[in-house]
Structure 1
Amino acid sequence: MGGVKMVFGLLTFVTVGMIIGALLQLAFLRRLEESSGSKFPLNRRINEAQMEGYIQLPKGLSFWENDEDARVLRIGFVKPEIVNWSPRIILFHNFLSAEECDYLRAIAQPRLQVSTVVDTKTGKGIKSEVRTSSGMFLNSEERKYPMIQAIEKRIAVFSQVPAENGELIQVLRYEKSQFYKPHHDYFSDAFNIKRGGQRIATMLMYLSDNVVGGETYFPSAGNGECSCGGKMMKGLCVKPGKGDAVLFWSMGLDGSTDPNSIHGGCEVLDGEKWSATKWMRQRTSY
């Protein structure tokens, strides 16, 4: 009889302990949820009034409504999709808001010039038949604008590459019949890696809709075929969609350049394709 009482007492003790533990865990989760708005401070605080109107949160995320980082990172909007492992390609749906896309286009429009490629001997841009678009680079002052800072912060977090390792954003426009032949973003010469080291990754952001053709083409990715400027090609193609962004890596996990990261811009058949490119390097590049 005494043994039965002892077992019953132990079971009661364990049950009460489990209940108390569960209540403590619920209390902890509640505190964590309530404090989530202050757990992730920005490196550079962005005035909320300046952000209002172009960075918002979807319904159902009200506990982040006062979290500036959640607004900057577009928590609840950005949807990552792993497209390919070798080379590593990730598609981020809704990476930019429509307002951010239009803002970048508005800055670029008056300053567009014929696009160039990097000269391996001088590091300067030179005209080439492999690239027929027009474009411009944001300057260091524009990089300080609140909306540009928000985009830079988002790129750094989703790529896990520090913002200071990134080159200035380049905005490009491809009109009908324009293209960019397959190429590598990494450098094959010593001159261009003197400042900032090798290019390790690229974030390519699409700024316009209603484009026919203009896909981003990876000849060495995937095992099938895809439509590139209306032609069926071996490889993998990503169709441009306003606000979407493609992150791909020019270096493998072993730290060596990845020849499979070769890519190009397919011919635009109708409309205009606008994009913004952010190249990221091994070290601080500015």
Structure 2
Amino acid sequence: ARARTRTRVEPLSWYPRAFALRDALTEAQCEAVLRATRARVRRSTVVDSVTGESKVDPIRTSKQTFLNRDEEVVREIYDALSAVTMLPWTHNEDMQVLEYRVGEKYDAHEDVGAEDSLSGRELSKDGGKRVATVLLYLEEPEAGGETAFPDSEWIDPKMAEGTSWSKCAEHRVAMKPRRGDGLIFWSVDPNGKIDHRALHVGCPVVAGVKWTATVWVHAEPYRWQKP
């Protein structure tokens, strides 16, 4: 069935290119992903910039698991996201699902490794560079847990007004997690070069629990052979 488009895209920043995705997921989709993953999460890892291997690191204290992109609910979500990324679902990695409890966070990092680093080569060896990241909010915390960009500019500074931000998200472009919403940002500029202003942080959860799904989008098909 053809994926229906219901998401509203709201530009937040041009530096980096970041857009809020309002109503990116239905309640049923949020629940389906959570049901499939709640009991499976384990301590999150990062890619070592020297060895290219996955490792546990104090910069990232969440728990994680993955859902295969061939699973029905994931394909349904990915087909709809193609209307935003303008790329087919075959460019997406498997969906990473994360749980953040009080105090858990992901310190400032980039989703695309440095050009000359082993981690950069590891992340780009299949499908080319990660060009964009989509974050989907499955369950919102009571406070904190924003996604924030330390080196960023709001399109309109007034966009930050009227929202209660945690200290981590103040005075920078940020997205407050709301169940069913999403955020897309581009890790490269329009010429395909790494945009270091896409450096971002998952702010500590202050109260409650946050569940998110991460979708990394590559420049070329990822682990895909045409049938």
Q: Structure 1-normalised TM-score? A: 0.70
Contact 1:209 1:242 in 2 (8 A): yes
1:186 pairs, out of 80, 103, 112, with: 112
What is residue 93 of structure 2 aligned with on the other side?
167
Residue 127 of structure 1, CA deviation = 0.4
Aligned with residue 131 of structure 1, among 27, 51, 60 = 60
Counterpart amino acid of residue 157 in structure 1: A
Partner of 1:115: 44
Structure 2, unpaired ranges of 5+: none
Q: What's the secondary structure of 2:153's corresponding residue? A: coil
Amino acid at match of 1:88: R
Alpha-carbon distance, 1:210 to partner: 4.4
Q: Which runs of 5+ in 1 are unaligned?
A: 1-45, 47-68
Q: Are 1:78 and 2:27 counterparts?
A: no
CA distance in 2, matches of 1:247, 1:277: 10
User: d(CA) in 2 for partners of 1:210 and 1:123?
Assistant: 32
Percent of aligned pairs sharing the same letter:
31
Report the Cα offset of residue 234 of structure 1.
3.1
Q: Deviations over 1:75-128 (max 9, x none)?
A: 3x3111111112111111000001111111111111100000012344332101
After the TM superposition, which residues 49-68 of structure 1 pair with which residues of structure 2 at under 5 Å, given as runs? none
- Which structure dedicates a bigger proportion of its chain to helix? 1
Q: Contact 2:25/2:181 (CA < 8 Å) preserved in 1?
A: yes
Match of 1:212 in 2: 143
Deviations 1:192-219 (A, max 9, x none): 3222211100000000134310000111
**CA–CA separation in structure 1 for the residues paired with 2:133 and 2:141:** 24
Number of equivalenced pairs: 212
| Aligned partner of 1:270 among 207, 217, 223 | 207
Supply the distance in 2 between the matched residues of 1:205 and 1:268 (Cα, whole angstroms).
16
Considering Cα pairs closer than 8 Å and 6+ residues apart, tell me whether 1 or 2 has the greater RCO.
2
1:224-235 alignment to 2 at 5 Å?
A: 229-231=166-168, 233-235=170-172
SS in 1 for 2:75: helix
Counterparts of 1:112 and 1:229, CA distance in 2:
26
Structure 1 pair 227/118, CA: closer, same or farther in 2 (3 Å)? farther
Q: TM-score, normalised by structure 2?
A: 0.87
Which has the larger strand fraction? 2
* 1:191 CA drift (Å): 3.3
The 1:252/1:231 distance shift into structure 2, 3 A limit, reads closer
Residue 139 of structure 2 aligns to a residue whose secondary structure is coil
Measured after TM superposition, the shift of residue 185 of structure 1 is 0.6
Evaluate the alpha carbon distance shift between residue 123 and residue 156 of structure 1 in structure 2; reply closer, same or farther with a 3 A threshold: farther
State the match for 1:65 in structure 2.
none
> Bigger radius of gyration, 1 or 2?
1
Match of 1:157 in 2: 83
